[in-house]
Structure 1
Amino acid sequence: MIAWPVPFASMLAGKPFRPLPLEMLVDTLLNRVFAASLDEGELDFLAGREVLLAHASLPIGLRIQLLGAPDDDGNSRPARRRLRASPYPGSLADLTGAPRADLLIRAELSGFLHMIARDRDADTLFFQRLLSMEGDTDLGLRVKNLLDGLDVDELRFGPQLQRTCAALLRVLDPVAGAIRP
């Protein structure tokens, strides 16, 4: 009997794969990228909302939430606003029905990488059917506008991030193209 590594075995069994290092990386990256926007309250529209980033064909997803946003009385709960990325607790089957989050953004890994590398925008990926959004349309538009307004080149690590994504895409796109019918 072959002993598969736990993440691979859980994917084969239809159980969710929860990549904790990816969760921590995304959490840190989001808070660094949006530090100024968080401090200025530009992301308060996410208060009490959940955005789910899901892989289109694997049971992998990250739930994005805003922590420390003011409540209805204007009182901030934690001392500082921050974004939290946590693993989506469902399986791929859960993603086929109505989204549990306020907004579900679903794409293949290459679709998310294209957006980070800035060589394709969300609209292009959407019309090519490489990205889909389900749920609150207003929230989806606000998230899209926020991402469109982000200048990755101004980030301290922005150029390195774009080069890394471009390098990954050079590997992933030919493989994905070979698999597609």
Structure 2
Amino acid sequence: MFKLLLILLAYCASVVFPAPPFSEDHPTEITSSHQTQSQVFSLPDEKPCTWDDSFGEVDCGTFTITFGDGSLLGWKLYTTLRLPNFSTHFDLNCSNLGDVWTTAPSAPGLPYIISIHGGNGCISTNFWWEAWDNLWIKYANQWVDVASDERCTSVYWNGKGRRCVIETKPADPAPKSEVEVGGATVRG
């Protein structure tokens, strides 16, 4: 019994107080910054950078635009722009039955202008809340069709809202001269 207790204590001590590392585990020579960076990024415990826009975690290199207010009627023209540590609300310009572009308020950290074509985002009734057609977001070279783009999902308890996650600094930010959006040619 005593021998079993000693073995158990020795095991616990080895787990709680591991042996000091060998000098081969910690070289004394200075490594280049490239080697140090590759070692830092390969750590298995490291988590990617994310932030919470109140609908869930998104990557740090993105911002979100949410359409709708979550109410029973689902006022879709109510729009929210969110970045880490920044949020602003504005309404879509719904003149001409939503066939106009709204410029979103400027936001810190966004190098380009956000333009939103209201389309069916201007129809805010309980019967048409699923129709998001012709609601488009233009940001740098990114064109987002809110109704069908995979970056956009339904939100709110009643599903009467739409959230789009958009890259803040796209790799090729120059807009194309003409882009086909929703069956119409739009010049960038």
Hey, which of these two has a bigger chunk of helix by percent?
Answer: 1
**Highest CA radius of gyration, 1 or 2?**
2
TM-score with structure 1 setting the length: 0.30
Hey, which of these two has a bigger chunk of strand by percent?
Answer: 2
TM-score with structure 2 setting the length: 0.30
